Structure 1
């Protein structure tokens, strides 16, 4: 029976594991598993549990002895390399599933880059829940930009976008109006109002509505903010000026994150990755418009993080 390799993608929202043939550039998939978010930084207490759940689901009836190597890409991979206690939970889950050795942990940047190109030197920009960029050389990160987390950075990514949507909503409420974007945010949190109408004395006063929104957002956490990002896309499609301003600012932030690395990549590819940078979204299109004049022939979009992790695992078997 053929040898297999395992690739994983541990994100803030979802953990994915894929098992596939070791031979070939895109071997037959033998097993897949998903679980809740498994970021060891934002979910330190539960990340290894999500990893274990996705791993068990992917293995299914697959004989663990057939798996010759595994690579796991994740945001926050540095935390596992520097803190053995956190890494121990992942290694224990691996062993409990009957797998030999330990998985190689790489950054989500390395996995995303490897999914899009066969060139070992270039640049990658990721924007999903968070945002970061890296110069890749020899399939490894040699220089990084961003990736500070939602509290200190990640400008232009999902949490930042959600926070910008809430701020625009609060500004609209204080001005006594309900914009398209504000209406969507208010409805998302169950604070109903009349879209497009001026707040009247009989309506729920804007100040009270704003206070309720602030309280709910503060109690909900960062991931709840990221879930608001699609509302910006909806409002943008409806011609919202608030949404258009947010999209433009997000694109400028993201391009600024990667710009300092572009000159060092020589003629290597510029890989875009993550849900926020999909070309179907206004943020993804805006970023491309800013990069295309100078880097258009080098732009490419990453496949899934699991595909990149599988590609790296296969290279290790050669």
Structure 2
């Protein structure tokens, strides 16, 4: 079989899709997190291996119940593979992971084994529009990053990037940023209320955040947020969330509460949080945009490009609109706007277009 594999490796999950030489999806699977920056090479390889093996199981009819061994015995079933990996940014990181993935798939390093940051998968929509050759891929999920591309004969050339430096350094626009901003605004309202000698305004979001952490007062949130990462020995079925989550997840896991409170309940505090995070994200994205010149040759004009969104947060249309509105206020209106809800499938079909028949 000549199979074409694309694996989207993210901070929350791993998605693998397998196509045949006609672009038909034969198999797919979801696995656990595989952000390379947060895992050892062995743990990353394990996450990818389990997900790809599960995807191979679904390629048969009926699907196999037995694990598909990787590395494969004999010839590789894959004609080409494309990995979009969050946390992979430098040539050194690509060089580190390439031998492991090459051995795992039985696919030699080279043009048929492509490994890049996961934003590269979002450049594919440029091929769907005949009048443009530029794309800006924007991921807003667990983290946040934006990357600009120009289509070339060999694929996509990366022009510029902003963000994606992890939760300690930023990840603007993503789940951690939203969760942190929510807590910052909650404690800010408590601070302001202290000088008025009056309680802060009621907020559905504040109530939900306190319930998430099992707290009765905002004044107790400091310990819940800053408590060290948990040791396995202290965990029980009755342990509260602040004890079971690492610090980054304590904040990023609040994002669904913010979105629910903002877009379903119209909570003013939650809406202010998302207005703040979307504007900050738009400010970052705008670093990539403008008229190029000899000093900034890699700038992209929005009206000559497609902005391609991917990730759970920007999958919410109302949040995408906030980002696009903030960009428009800065004079950046894109010719096309796309949301890629299945980057692995898009990438697998792109592989077929590039390699099938060659």
| TM-score of the superposed pair, with normalisation by structure 2 | 0.74
Gaps of 5+ in 1: 194-204
* Alignment-derived partner of residue 167 in structure 2: 150
> For residues 153 and 274 of structure 1, what CA distance do their matches in structure 2 show?
17
Higher relative contact order (CA 8 A, sep 6+): 1
Superposition deviation, residue 298 in structure 1: 2.2
CA contact (8 A) 1:161 1:250 kept: yes
The structure-2 alpha-carbon separation of the partners of 1:61 and 1:212, relative to structure 1 and needing over 3 Å to count, comes to closer
Task: Tell me the equivalent position of 1:190.
Answer: 214
Structure 2 gap ranges (5+): 61-71, 194-198, 228-241, 291-298
Partner of 1:202: none
Structure 2 residue 269 is matched with structure 1 residue 269: no
Q: Which residue of 1 aligns with 2:100?
A: 89
User: In structure 1, the residue corresponding to 2:167 is in which secondary structure?
Assistant: coil
Residue of structure 2 equivalent to 1:125: 138
Deviation at 1:14, TM superposition (A): 0.2
**For residue 231 of structure 2, what is the aligned residue in structure 1?**
none
Mapped contact 1:8–1:71 kept (Cα < 8 A): yes
Show the counterpart of 2:119. 109
Equivalent position of 2:282 in the other structure: 255
For 1:247 and 1:287, the matched residues in 2 are separated by 9
Distance in 2 (alpha carbons) for counterparts of 1:61 and 1:161: 36
Q: Contact 1:123/1:262 (CA < 8 Å) preserved in 2?
A: no
1:30 aligns with 2:41: no
Instruction: Please give the alpha-carbon distance, in whole angstroms, between the structure 2 residues aligned to 1:242 and 1:47.
Output: 38
For residue 116 of structure 1, report the CA deviation from its aligned partner. Answer: 6.2
Q: CA offsets per residue over residues 103-151 of structure 1, 9 Å max, x none?
A: 3212211101215643542222221111111220122312112222111
Q: Residues 37 and 31 from structure 1, CA distance in 2 versus in 1: closer, same or farther, beyond 3 angstroms? A: same
Q: CA offsets, 1:61-86, max 9 Å, x none?
A: 75974421110111122357436444
Cα deviation for residue 190 of structure 1 reads 2.6
Answer with 307-316 or 13-22: which moved more.
Answer: 307-316
**Structure 1 residue 20: Cα displacement:** 0.8
With 108-117 and 131-140 compared, the bigger mean Cα shift is at 108-117
Alignment of 1:48 with 2:42, yes or no, is: no
- 1:76 paired with 2:80, answer no
Per mean C-alpha deviation after superposition, the further-off stretch among 62-71 and 33-42 is 62-71
Q: Secondary structure at the match of 2:39?
A: coil
Deviation at 1:299, TM superposition (A): 1.9
Matches for 1:90-239 after TM superposition, within 5 Å: 90-95=101-106, 100-102=107-109, 103-115=113-125, 117-118=127-128, 120-137=133-150, 138=152, 139-172=156-189, 175=193, 176-177=199-200, 179-191=203-215, 193=216, 206-208=218-220, 210-212=222-224, 214-215=226-227, 216=242, 220-236=246-262, 237-239=264-266
**2: CA distance between counterparts of 1:107 and 1:189?**
34
**1:215-245 CA distances to partner (integer Å, 9 max, x unpaired)?**
3389622133222101111221323222121
Q: Please name the residue that 2:323 is paired with.
A: 287
**8 A contact 1:173–1:210 mirrored in 2:** no
Aligned-partner Cα distance in 2 for 1:111–1:85? 20
Point out the more displaced range, 225-234 or 284-293: 284-293
Is the 8 Å Cα contact of residues 145 and 172 (structure 2) preserved in structure 1? no
> Could you say what secondary structure the match of 1:101 adopts?
coil
Paired residue secondary structure (2:136): strand
C-alpha contact (below 8 Å) 1:130/1:158 kept by paired residues:
yes
Kept in 1: contact 2:309–2:338 (CA 8 A): yes
Q: Which whole-Å CA distance do the structure 1 matches of 2:307 and 2:102 have between them?
A: 33
